Amino acid sequence: MHRAKHSVDSCKHYLNKCDRAGYSLLEVLVASTLMVLIFACVMRSMRLGNNSVETAQITTLATQYLQDEAERVRALNWNGILNLEENGVFFPGERDHFSESPIARERVSITRRVSDVPDFPDMKQIELEANWISHRGLPSKRTLILRYAKDGIFDYYYATM
């Protein structure tokens, strides 16, 4: 009889141990909630990172388009500068080497304004402005200002804004 009682006690001890070996429903819910929150934070960070990359890409492209147009203007002589259109808008996709970029064709436009510099009759100011719509739908722009002097040693000066 003593043996039977011992085996029942050991069986109860074994069952109680097995009941405590798994995770409770509350622990599983807390762990699942924590994993979902971490996953949501990671996804948000990835989206913000992708937005930053796109912003940097379009800003760099717009700046390159401005620099390309500035170099084209710089290569002109004084008569070429005088013959530039006063105000002109063009799209980088209209140029052969920019046609490969779908971002350029769809979103960036370049505006050129040519004006006289006050008190300097032999100097022209050429303002180049790139305009585009950001990934958030907001208008953005980058401006490049050139000053070109007739027969000057340093006939080319630019600043960005």
> Which of 153, 157, 113, 155 lies closest to 131, judged by CA?
113
pLDDT in tens, 95-134: 545 555 666 566 788 888 888 889 988 888 889 999 988 8
pTM beyond 0.85: no
Give the pLDDT of residue 81.
Answer: 83
- pLDDT single digits (tens) 36-60: 999 999 999 999 998 888 888 888 8
What is the reported pLDDT for 13? 60
DSSP summary character for residue 84: S
Percent share of the chain, pLDDT over 70: 70
Give Cα separations from 96 to 21, 80, 91, 93, 101 (angstroms): 71, 21, 11, 7, 10
Mean pLDDT of 70-80: 83
Identify whether the C-beta of residue 65 lies closer than 8 Å to the C-beta of residue 142: no
